[in-house]
Chain A
């Protein structure tokens, strides 16, 4: 009989791990809380740094799951894990020979940074909202007009002790550069300003895209964090920052403010960790066994990690890790059977 592995979470990480496990002779079972698989990537429009439609990456994964008949239990969340199975909401137990935790991350709730007026003023949107607006083809101001001046703010809900999120979310700088270019393509007449504290272009092709944003699209990069946004009498938004490179306070009126929201740890990481004796990193993400040789392993034999559940991660890194995790599972199962 084939060994059975439960994969918790059917995002990009979970699906890619399932496909790899299946092709290596294991029977994977995906448990996904939502009604559909795909995770956050389902909401994204085009992916940095290549502007590949997110659908082009997700669709083959979803198709593979169906074509290979991989069991997928959707609409139910996992509440406890152990090396020999998981417990679903409602109490049902699903037995397994190993478990992969691929529950990803949670988007930072921009309402918590009240000073930026998200949910209070019109035309303050998050990067995640903007992806969905692009998917619907409806990037417009609330009154239906085109924005003439747009500000994009980096590090919203990341690197910020005030909201207890001191880590860097890694993907938002490059998302900000990508979205600045997309906005400029949609609204060539508009001026786009990115307000940053540090520009972190860690991946291949990222620095090049940053340069292209400056050179070919004339995106303005201002080094300073917006301290507050307020409405103007004519319905625009006024923002304040320090232009730290000139050492002078700066204010400007804009039509649209895009908040690059961070990736934070899932709230149920703590209870999942407690159920199996796993460790949490200080920022609440799952702590892997070792950053070099144990990136996809947990503190418990038989429980593995894949994707953004251990740290903010790009989709490319997530997919690479999913394969690594599947291979580590197969090694573990083989050692067990010897």
Chain B
């Protein structure tokens, strides 16, 4: 039978599956930094981010994914962070985002 090309392939499901994601690490991070629970997703951290202006790095996206239990690649992404602390200056919720960057790296080194 001829191989018909449909123009798309079957890839891994894109849905964030909270049923199968293990939220333990995420909960650990929130326990150490409960203020992250107050994030309103405004994107100020990403907008002001030094690394994000030079690379694809999106800090808000990474820490939101981590909270959903999507750890894959988070550590590598966080390595792009230069720990400059600009994000902390703008966060309207007063979250210690620089500390969060370090916390994510410390917790997710093995993902």
| Listed A/B pairs (28) with beta-carbon separation below 8 Å | A115-B90, A159-B40, A159-B92, A161-B92, A162-B90, A197-B41, A223-B43, A224-B42, A224-B47, A225-B42, A225-B43, A225-B47, A226-B47, A227-B48, A227-B90, A228-B48, A240-B48, A242-B44, A242-B45, A242-B60, A243-B43, A244-B41, A244-B42, A244-B46, A247-B58, A248-B58, A249-B47, A249-B52
A residues near B48, Cβ cutoff 8 Å: 227-228, 240
The 3 closest A-B pairs by CB, nearest first: A242-B43, A161-B94, A227-B47
A residues near B43, Cβ cutoff 8 Å: 223-225, 241-244
A residues near B91, Cβ cutoff 8 Å: 161-162
Query: Across the interface, do B40 and A242 meet the contact criterion of CB distance under 8 Å?
Result: no
A95-110 interface bits toward B, Cβ cutoff 8 Å, 1 = contact, 0 = none: 0000000000000000
- By beta carbon, the residue of chain A nearest B95 is A161
A residues within 8 Å of B by Cβ?
A: 115, 155, 159-162, 197-198, 223-228, 240-244, 247-250
B93 within 8 A of A: yes
CA distance in complex: A223, B41 (Å): 9
Query: Across the interface, do B47 and A155 meet the contact criterion of CB distance under 8 Å?
Result: no
- By beta carbon, the residue of chain A nearest B46 is A242
B residues near A248, Cβ cutoff 8 Å: 58
B residues within 8 Å of A by Cβ?
A: 40-49, 52-53, 58, 60-61, 90-94
B residues near A160, Cβ cutoff 8 Å: 92
Query: Across the interface, do B61 and A197 meet the contact criterion of CB distance under 8 Å?
Result: no
B residues near A241, Cβ cutoff 8 Å: 43-44, 47
Q: How far is the CB of A272 from chain B (nearest CB, A)?
A: 29
B residues near A198, Cβ cutoff 8 Å: 40
CA distance in complex: A225, B43 (Å): 6
Which of A162, A244, A250 makes the CB contact (< 8 A) with B60?
A244
- By beta carbon, the residue of chain A nearest B41 is A244
B residues near A249, Cβ cutoff 8 Å: 46-47, 49, 52-53, 58
A residues near B53, Cβ cutoff 8 Å: 249
CA distance in complex: A200, B44 (Å): 19
CA distance in complex: A248, B46 (Å): 8
B residues near A159, Cβ cutoff 8 Å: 40, 92
Q: How far is the CB of A288 from chain B (nearest CB, A)?
A: 26
A residues near B49, Cβ cutoff 8 Å: 249
Q: How far is the CB of B39 from chain A (nearest CB, A)?
A: 11
Q: How far is the CB of A261 from chain B (nearest CB, A)?
A: 15
Q: How far is the CB of B105 from chain A (nearest CB, A)?
A: 21
A residues near B42, Cβ cutoff 8 Å: 197, 224-225, 242, 244
CA distance in complex: A162, B92 (Å): 6
CA distance in complex: A160, B47 (Å): 16
CA distance in complex: A161, B93 (Å): 5
Query: Across the interface, do B47 and A240 meet the contact criterion of CB distance under 8 Å?
Result: yes
Query: Across the interface, do B44 and A227 meet the contact criterion of CB distance under 8 Å?
Result: yes
- By beta carbon, the residue of chain A nearest B89 is A162
Given contacts A160-B92, A241-B43, A248-B58, 12 further A-B contacts (CB under 8 A): A162-B94, A198-B40, A225-B42, A225-B43, A240-B48, A242-B42, A242-B43, A242-B60, A244-B60, A247-B58, A247-B61, A249-B52
